[in-house]
Amino acid sequence: MALYSEKVMDHFRNPRNVGVIEDADGIGEVGNAKCGDIMKMYLKIRDGIIEDVKFETFGCASAVASSSMATELIKGQPVSEAMKLTNKAVAEALDGLPDYKMHCSVLAEEAIRNALNDYYSKQGTDHCKDHCTVTAEGSSAACCAAAEPEA
């Protein structure tokens, strides 16, 4: 059995949306001290839609593939939908990641969430109040920065 799915290898060998957006509306950067992976996401947002997204990733095949897939999943989406992206959705879109590489999909989720939080802070808006789905318990854990990524 192969360590990585064909989709992981495709996104590693042919990553989508690599690069920098010089005039980005939101930038998010995360890293993992244990493995050394570093991800940086750049967002260009117009009228509440993610018009463009680019990334720079230093890391393993799973990290690059997770970054690439995450950008594909949010490009063209409303900001409110992008805030709901989970690491589980990234891993599933890649046809799975080995358990010990799931942290890469967590980093991709966190980098996007940080870029969206940066965008909202530049706008001076309360994104949790205005753009998130609030649960019955009153938590907007589906998209707020305080939300814990799924492992």
Using alpha carbons only, give the angle 38, 42, 47 rounded to the nearest 5 degrees. Answer: 150
- Look up 128 and say whether it is catalytic: no
DSSP label at residue 84:
T
- Look up 104 and say whether it is catalytic: yes
Catalytic residue, from 104, 128, 132, 143: name it. 104
Amino acid making up residue 83: M
CA distance 39 to 135: 30
Q: Count CB atoms within 10 A of the CB of residue 83.
A: 25
Active site residues: 35, 104
